[in-house]
A and B are shown apart, each in its own frame.
Chain A
Amino acid sequence: MADLLLEVRDLHVAVGDNEILKGLSLAVNKGEVHAIMGPNGSGKSTLANVVAGKPGYTVTAGDVLYEGESILTKLPDERARAGIFLALQYPVELPGVRNRDFLRAALDALRESRGEDKVGIRDFNKLMQAKAEELGLEPDMMKRNVNEGFSGGEKKRNEILQLVVLDPTLALLDETDSGLDIDALKVVAEGVNRFGGPEKAIVLVTHYQRILDYITPDFVHVLIDGRIVRSGGRELALELEKRGYDWLREEAQAGAAPSA
């Protein structure tokens, strides 16, 4: 189990009085790609947000372990510096903050926590240019304010740019594929694939199977009403594509009935 990176144990999460996650367990090893699928409101984004430490959620039971340690009391920036990255479903605009300044500050914060020197301006520029090109981003975008006036596709690509520049260990991608046309989707998928590797892990939250044509998952988990109701391989996603979620929802209700 030396490669176990993220372990979610019987996680219960509420927003206010509303319980969203109702006992979710998940183990992600290094080198793996996990897809979390499920209908709207099933708790997919909540899972990603709680792992990243977004405020506003109450963990009522269970635990989240990263590299063998509970991270629930850690601040979002501490988790980020430990190697957790969340590509946001709705990337936030930061008026007056230039994209490159933002990314450089983030990179420096990560490097500093690893005891490395801050990145030199030349090295940073080189890195940015290479990575932006790979993602088909206009170099001009680095001078613009973070996500301000970006199209939906640009925002998502900007998230992936951050992913490849910051190079974390665990990437949580929250519906990074939604709202992308097919060309943009390919570019984003290529970026994610380039990031992946034996020392990395990817948890992909998505509605649609479409992105899985480009990023091959090792595991697919179906999340319904706050629980993982089925896990399988890539073929599960294809089955969902054909049959929808209702059959699983019915199965889950039937299975849950005795304990209810």
Chain B
Amino acid sequence: MVAEKKPPVISRTSEVESEYKWGFVTDIEMDMAPKGLNEDIVRLISRKKNEPEWMTESRLKAFRYWMTLEYKEPRWAKISFPPIDYQDAYYYAAPKSQEAAPESLDDVDPELIEAFNKLGIPLEEQKKMTGVAVDAIFDSVSVATTFQKQLEEAGVIFCPISEAIEKHPELVRKYMGSVVPYTDNFFATLNAAVFSDGTFCYVPPGVKCPMELMTYFRINAEGTGQFERTLIIADKGSYVSYLEGCTAPMRKTNQLHAAVVELIALDDAEIKYSTLQNWYPGDKDGNGGVYNFVTKRGKCAGRNSKISWTQVETGSAITWKYPSVILQGDNSVGEFYSVALVNNYQQADTGTKMIHLGKNTKSTIIAKGISAGKAQGTYRGLVRIMPGAENARNFTRCDSLLIGSECGAHTVPYIEVRNPTAHLEHEATTSRVSDEQLFYLMQRGINEEDAQYMIINGFCKTVFNELPFEFAMEASQLLKVSLEGAVG
């Protein structure tokens, strides 16, 4: 992938030098809301999306609540960033050609299709990825969703959330905000007010979704925030595997990404949610990069339900994210598998919350942190066993790998047990790539850089094994690219 040389039309030329391969800017005319955030902007966003009154009101309610928070973000995480001027950003940016929602791919601007091609996400019929349905989101809007027909035949609804608000209001009204209420936290509140687009998925009872579902998020416009909203509902006895990928151009300024993801699994349902997060991490000196402040939470609402989060976090200047599971149904299962890699000046404070409410609930947490350069990585996780959660079990394992001597790895586990029948295990390690291991690999003819990657890759293996096969390969590649300059 080669960065575009043409000067971008909609932004100042501020791209920076980097190894980041996804840093190109797509030269396309944008429809932008005026800078700043107020009730008029919230109404404007709602109007642009032809939303019904209830949605506009819901946004305004969130916005009014957000104003009472006086721009005070949560500051308990081990991250630091300069004050964000929330009035100096665009809250709506859409490719002009997308103003009228495209009926089919033929109506989509070829520039946009090309942009996704460059990212390795072909949308055209003949080039589509086999077995993966993709919802491609460019700045604030969904560009195209592939395989919709095949999914429809299976009864699966997979569409942009703006479309779901219009076509499936009963489902959206019932479930949106039911796991992450608009009062949840500063960024979730902001998202509830200004969310742009995102993905909606509903799998009807007894249906095993016939293919992997994927959303690819792309920030393109400069000075914009991206606030996507994802809602996935797995009805009784259904199964769905969902994957999201994300990239952004290289900019000297920071970009805000504050998403909310809600998952709901009813009786005997299973949701597998995988993330490859590769937002622009900033340059070697820590300039630019995406602030990734994300609230992700799933609710195992039904008996025997299961929600599994797998994340590979290599991008973003700052990651603040705790994909969690509320284990409400008896015998429900929550899983969290994570690789969080930070290099140069990146910061990540990430982990999970497992809230055990139902009987015989079980959670597993495997978190692998890799710190290189001058970066700081923190695992922060909560396991809470509530009084009614008889025979709850949790297994937690946190491993940190340090590369070089100027980085840091931190593990902050919180454990709250209010039922004596609970059974919890916690293991944590911190290590370096050992000289013995390196020598062993090199003695067999493998050069130092490849040897390092083999060891680091091995460190992440248990998490990668949770990813769908193609994405496991991609995750390995991401790791390699993200560590360029740090090893070898």
Contact = CB atoms under 8 A, between A and B. Distances in A.
B457 A109 contact: no
Given A94-B437, A96-B461, A102 B442 contact: no
B450 interface: yes
Contacts of A56: 435
Nearest to A111: B445
A198 interface: no
A76 B437 CA distance: 12
A80 B455 CA distance: 19
Interface in B404-443: 434-437, 439-443
A141 interface: no
Contacts, number: 80
Given A56-B435, A96-B462, A109-B447, A75 B442 contact: yes
Contacts of A97: 454-455, 457-458, 461
Contacts of B457: 96-97
B446 A106 contact: yes
Nearest to B439: A54
Interface in B446-472: 446-448, 450-451, 454-455, 457-462
A4 B455 CA distance: 36
Given A56-B435, A109-B450, A166 B455 contact: no
A55 B446 contact: no
Interface residues of B, number: 24
A53 B444 CA distance: 12
A80 B444 contact: yes
Contact of B446 (A53, A85, A86, A105): A105
Nearest to B454: A97
B435 A76 contact: no
A37 interface: no
Which size bracket describes the interface of A in this complex?
20 to 34
B440 A77 contact: no
Contact of A113 (B434, B445, B455, B460): B445
A97 B454 CA distance: 7
A95 B459 contact: yes
Interface in A74-101: 75-77, 79-81, 85-86, 88, 91-92, 94-97, 101
Contacts of A29: none
Contact of B439 (A76, A95, A96, A113): A76
A77 B445 contact: yes
Given A92-B436, A94-B437, A109-B447, A76 B454 contact: no
Contacts of A102: 441, 444, 454
Contact of B445 (A92, A94, A106): A106
A53, A81, A88, A97 — which one has the most chain B CB atoms within 10 A of its CB? A97
B435 A55 contact: yes
A109 B436 contact: no
A165 B133 CA distance: 43
A115 B222 CA distance: 47
Interface in B169-187: none
Interface in A207-226: none
Given A105-B446, A109-B447, A91 B462 contact: no
Output the residue of B442, B445, B447, B458 with the most chain A CB within 10 A.
B445
Contact of A145 (B444, B458, B460): B458
Nearest to A148: B458
A94 B455 CA distance: 7
B454 A105 contact: yes
A162 B440 CA distance: 12
Contacts of B458: 94-97, 145
A142 B455 CA distance: 17
A105 B452 CA distance: 13
B443 A52 contact: yes
B439 A109 contact: no
B453 to A, nearest CB: 10
- Lowest 5 A-B CB distances belong to which pairs? A96-B458, A96-B461, A106-B444, A97-B458, A80-B445
30 contacts: A53-B442, A53-B443, A54-B443, A55-B439, A75-B448, A76-B439, A76-B442, A77-B451, A80-B444, A81-B445, A85-B443, A91-B440, A92-B434, A92-B436, A92-B437, A95-B461, A96-B457, A96-B461, A96-B462, A97-B454, A97-B458, A102-B444, A105-B450, A105-B454, A106-B445, A106-B446, A109-B445, A109-B446, A109-B447, A166-B444
Interface of B: 434-437, 439-448, 450-451, 454-455, 457-462
